[in-house]
Structure formats: structure tokens, C-alpha cells
Amino acid sequence: MRPVPSWPSTPPGGAPIALPRRRAASQIALWWLMGVIGVLFALMLVAYVMRMSQGDWRPLPPVNALWVNTGVLAAACIVMQSSASQARRGELRRSRREWRLAGALALAFVVGQLWVWRDLVARRYGVSGNPANSFFFLLTGLHALHLIGGWVAWACLLPRRLTPATRARRLSLTAQYWHFLFVLWVVLFAAIVNLTPEIAQRLCGTGGLSP
């Protein structure tokens, strides 16, 4: 039997691809996965705030490269969503180009995070320097690992025997997971940039608030 070619060529305005009904099961599994990951990071953020309220917390200096990395990750999510939308409409050639670009941008984000970690270590803000350093590396490193998992899902679209419908379904699910990781990163980034020991003490009720 002749295999289904990868990314078959279709003329502009090709026929939309109907996603299979089994997408519902994979969608529910994805929701469970995102829920578990969300709870994990929520607990870690609670520990982050509680530990920050202690007197030996020394915040890290501003890391401007994180803004650049955030923009790169946002671009990766936008391009991946566009790729999924093009696949559903049957525009598989354009979807393939955007799929490749999205993967490159996601990889660029991870490389950018590695650069930030190396720069901090070179400036003597290593993991064991103080609790602020440890939590920064823990939170950003764990997020990067989950993003690498999303990149593996991206790479699973490489097989040449995927049908257009299967490819469109996987693109849609991968895009949703990447959007979730972007929102999660925005929350982590906001906590890293905006939270201070004074705010943490107030949140934990140890700041000596006057009546």
C-alpha cells in the first residue's frame, strides 16, 4: 500500500481538514496534563513566596535578557497557532513553513535561557549562592524542561506517514500546550520581576502590618 506523503501539496484555498472524533480523548488527556503541571508550579510559587519572606533572601539583579526570551516564546506560540490554523484549512505547504519556524523559535528560547543561566553563574549568582538563586534556577529550569517536552511533541510531526487529519490534530494539541507554557512563563516571569521580600512578607502575614 502506498504511504501517505508528508505535507502533501494542496492549492491555495484547499479543502478544510475535518479532525477525527478521537480528538476528544486526546484533548481531555492534554487538559489533565496541563492541570497537573499547573498545580505543580502553583505549589512551587507558594514555596517561593514563603521562602522569600525570610530574612536571608537576597534578590537577583535585573536580567534584561529574560524580556527578549519572553518575546521569542510569544512569537513561537503565535507562529505555531498559525501553522495549526493553516493545517485545518488544508494549506499544508504554508503550515509546514510555519511549523518549522515555530520549532526554531522555541529552541531559541531554550538557548536564551541557557545563556541567562551561564551569565548569572559567571557573575557569581550560582545555584548555591542564596535561596533566591536556587529558586530562580529551579523555576526557570523546570519550565524549560516542560518546553523541551513540547518541542518533542513538535518533532513527532516528522513521520512521513501521518495523514493530513492526524497532522492537523497533533498541530492543534501542540499549539494548545505551547500556549499553556507561555502563560505559565508569564506568571513565573511576573513573580521573578515584581515580587519583593516586602510583598512576600505581607502575603505571608509576617510583615508587621500596622492596624
Q: Is the pLDDT of residue 3 over 90?
A: no
Residue 102 near residue 80 (C-beta atoms within 8 A)? yes
**pLDDT category, 190, cuts 50, 70, 90?**
very high
Helices (H), the chain: 23-52, 65-88, 92-122, 131-155, 164-194, 197-203
**pLDDT category, 206, cuts 50, 70, 90?**
low
Cα first-last separation, the chain: 79
pLDDT of the residue at 166: 83
State the burial class of residue 2 (Cβ atoms within 10 Å of its Cβ: 0-12, 13-18, 19+): exposed
Q: What is the pLDDT of residues 9-28, one digit of tens each?
A: 444 455 555 555 555 788 89
Q: What mean pLDDT value characterizes the chain?
A: 85
Report pTM. 0.83
Sketch the domain layout of the chain as residue ranges. 70-78+94-195
